[in-house]
Amino acid sequence: MDITHTKELFDSKEFEVAYHTDLPLGSFCGREGTLFRLWAPTAQNVVLRLYPAGHGGQPKEILHPVKGEKGTWHCETARNLDGWYYDYAVTVDGRVYETNDPWAKSCGLNGKRSMVLDLKRTDPPGWELDKAPAPTEEQVIWELHVRDFSWDAAGGFEPADRGLFRALTKTGTTLYRNGKHPTGLDYMKRLGVTHVQLLPIYDYGSVDEKHPEAAYNWGYDPVNYNVPEGSYSSDPYRGEVRVRELKDMVAALHKNGFRVIMDVVYNHTYNLECSLFKTVPWYFFRQTSQGKPSNGSGCGNDVASERSMCGRYILESALYWIEEYHLDGFRFDLMGLMDDGLMNKLQKALDEKYGPGEKLVYGEPWRAADTHARPGTRLCDKESLLHIDSKIGAFNDDTRDAVKGSVMREDSVGFVNGGTIRAEVLGKCLTGWVAPNGANQTPYQNITYLSCHDDWTLWDKLVYTMDPSKHFLGSDPKLLKANRLAAAINFCCQGRPFFLSGEEFGRTKGGIKNSYCSSSEVNQLDWTRAWENRELVDYYRGLIALRKQLPAFADKSAEARNRLLFTKDLAPNCAGAALDNHGNSPWKILLVVFNCSDTPCPVNLPEGKWQLLCDGDSSFRWQQHIPLESRCTAQPGSALILGKMN
């Protein structure tokens, strides 16, 4: 097959009709025996090799799958091969590709060999009773990398747990094991977030599982889509361990009150030396008209989600994670590379199976560059948000950039760090950029955030724009104040609030913008800093607790934008707004003022009994029941949230 013709062939309806199948694919074992089935419609020959171990040694046995219907190859044996490892030698156009099984559920060291696994035996005790915590009206999402969580020795984790799934199962850890200052799960519980979004936990390629400490990576380099990453397990050699330990982790997070979101990277693979490529060369990947890999991901290749078997693969994989690991939703990396048909199908399948909106789906509504999808494909980018399932959400770069400045330039500023706040833009942020102001149908679609793993942390951005000495490890009161103001604005935006773990304690990566392969020390959560900046943590804690009581911000309906009664420029670089807060709350009307200037701004209150809920120093003022007279003052560089009593 001429490689430049594969694009046309694989995009064609004829190919889809001839080879699309819904037959189960992968390996399946039980008392009745074991079945292997691979989809390889362009192969001339397929050989299956069985190994007793996940790495090293020669095959113990060779099997010869036969060609079945719709381009599938299968073989069966009466033996239960649970615990065996395998790979394929697939011949296409005379070339032999040695590959693992893209449909496999576990694997050996570094994902080179697939594993036949009876998943039942990986279930921890009580797994059938595991349940996510009850749904909450507000969803506050905290983004976390498994290793970052427990790498810092000061965090007081068991040395054998550091960097692993296991660290997320333990309560009772404290800073320097002093018994006083909670770290880990206890810290998270105190913070009040409802959802943990984990950076990639599927098997990725950039960290050698044999020597995980030798490298660090975020993990946006998928190798086995349906297998947990081995470097987060206590034994990457035995494929059942990573599966069981991930389940343990999910159960522990659920038990401690958190729902778990998985970051999925179906838009590209680590490289083309992967099973999806080797089993059906080029089918799962978009090509340019010259036959080169499309590169809209900026990572060397783009997965062709619009092709029917590729769409099946992604849909099945996502549903598998939810079902087998009890996960609660997905964050789609570069969702702007996926076709919207697939995203709609996924949301629909999840809604039908688990109830509408029970499982979250949101992603990045952009891509790194143009992609070469089949002509006529509609991609799930910002422009699509008005047309896709209104339960699919997207990260909002408009609020992010308005508050703290663009991610493209370190000296670019926003409301809180030298820019100018304007009532008109503030109003759009507050109402979640719902149409006609933006691309969202409802605030539900709006992931409102200031920082995530990409780009500078909020703290580092503040240092770049406000601290001439560039002292990243410092705790300058001026910066802490700007951080509080920024957070207050974000938590007053309709949408689903999201933040990078550690944003709440001024997390720094020493000014590094893209730390995807920086050291563990650069990336880790610095638990000492979390303690030192505990007042900032408390400010976030108060905002989260307050947010849960404010329907004006938490309302996800299409009508939520009508809650904005007015916005007003109150003084140079100081803007405010009033919102209708009817619903389950003691306060009928809210008044918010964000004073980004250096001078105090007097605020005249409309008639009624007003209460101070939050100011620049404390976000727990609402606990103090402080009545206000007809006037109050928004202090320089501070937020003010006031509530009118019912």
Helix 458-466 / helix 397-404 crossing angle, nearest 10 deg: 30
- Give the count of beta carbons closer than 10 Å to the beta carbon of residue 379: 23
Residue 356 dihedral angles phi and psi, to the nearest 5°: -55, 125
Q: Which is nearer to Ca ion, 240 or 555 (by Cβ)?
A: 240
CB of 563 to Ca ion, least distance (A): 47
Q: Which of 152, 161, 340, 364 is catalytic?
A: 364
CB of 238 to Ca ion, least distance (A): 14
CB of 208 to Ca ion, least distance (A): 8
Q: Which is nearer to Ca ion, 203 or 381 (by Cβ)?
A: 203
364 noted as active-site residue: yes
Please report, for residues 50, 341, 381, the alpha-carbon distance to residue 376 in angstroms, rounded to integers and kept in the order given: 43, 12, 15
- Give the count of beta carbons closer than 10 Å to the beta carbon of residue 539: 26
CB of 626 to Ca ion, least distance (A): 54
Please report, for residues 58, 180, 632, the alpha-carbon distance to residue 96 in angstroms, rounded to integers and kept in the order given: 18, 60, 76
Q: What is the DSSP letter of 611?
A: E
Per DSSP bridges, beta strands 85-92 and 45-51 are antiparallel
For residue 640, give every residue at least 6 positions away whose Cβ sits within 8 Å of its Cβ, in sequence order, or none. Answer: 576, 591, 592, 593, 594, 595, 603, 612, 614, 615, 616, 632, 634
Q: Which is nearer to Ca ion, 225 or 283 (by Cβ)?
A: 225
- Give the count of beta carbons closer than 10 Å to the beta carbon of residue 91: 15
CB of 204 to Ca ion, least distance (A): 5
Q: Which is nearer to Ca ion, 152 or 203 (by Cβ)?
A: 203
Total length of the chain: 646
Q: Which is nearer to Ca ion, 230 or 542 (by Cβ)?
A: 230
Q: Which is nearer to Ca ion, 211 or 631 (by Cβ)?
A: 211
Q: Quick one: which of 508, 401, 384, 505 has its CA closest to 448?
A: 401
Which residue's Cβ has the minimum distance to Ca ion?
Answer: 203
CB of 620 to Ca ion, least distance (A): 43
- Per the listing, tokens 């539900």 go with 444
Binding site for Ca ion (CB under 5 A): 203, 230
Q: Quick one: which of 84, 88, 93, 142 has its CA closest to 115?
A: 84
CB of 108 to Ca ion, least distance (A): 10
Q: Which is nearer to Ca ion, 232 or 622 (by Cβ)?
A: 232
Q: Which is nearer to Ca ion, 230 or 329 (by Cβ)?
A: 230
Residue 274 dihedral angles phi and psi, to the nearest 5°: -130, 165
User: Which residues sit opposite 329 in a β-bridge?
Assistant: 261, 360
CB 416 within 8 A of CB 461: no
Q: Which is nearer to Ca ion, 206 or 406 (by Cβ)?
A: 206
Q: Report how far residue 89's alpha carbon sits from residue 159's, in angstroms, rounded to the nearest whole number.
A: 41
Q: Report how far residue 631's alpha carbon sits from residue 611's, in angstroms, rounded to the nearest whole number.
A: 12
Q: Report how far residue 458's alpha carbon sits from residue 463's, in angstroms, rounded to the nearest whole number.
A: 9
Q: Report how far residue 338's alpha carbon sits from residue 297's, in angstroms, rounded to the nearest whole number.
A: 11
CB of 207 to Ca ion, least distance (A): 6
Q: Which is nearer to Ca ion, 228 or 506 (by Cβ)?
A: 228
Please report, for residues 1, 397, 553, 589, 640, the alpha-carbon distance to residue 644 in angstroms, rounded to integers and kept in the order given: 72, 32, 15, 5, 13
CB of 276 to Ca ion, least distance (A): 16
Q: Which is nearer to Ca ion, 203 or 615 (by Cβ)?
A: 203
For residue 130, give every residue at least 6 positions away whose Cβ sits within 8 Å of its Cβ, in sequence order, or none. Answer: 250, 251, 254, 255, 326
Helix 184-191 / helix 534-547 crossing angle, nearest 10 deg: 50
Q: Report how far residue 183's alpha carbon sits from residue 188's, in angstroms, rounded to the nearest whole number.
A: 8
Q: Which of 248, 306, 328, 333 is catalytic?
A: 333
Please report, for residues 542, 592, 624, the alpha-carbon distance to residue 611 in angstroms, rounded to integers and kept in the order given: 16, 12, 9
CB of 239 to Ca ion, least distance (A): 12
User: Under DSSP, is residue 146 helix (H, G, I), strand (E, B) or coil?
Assistant: helix
User: Under DSSP, is residue 467 helix (H, G, I), strand (E, B) or coil?
Assistant: coil
Q: Which is nearer to Ca ion, 48 or 109 (by Cβ)?
A: 109
- Give the count of beta carbons closer than 10 Å to the beta carbon of residue 57: 10
CB of 209 to Ca ion, least distance (A): 5
**Exposure pattern of 518-530 as b/e (b: 16+ CB <10 Å)?**
eebeebbbbbebb
CB of 164 to Ca ion, least distance (A): 13
Q: Mind telling me the catalytic residues?
A: 333, 364
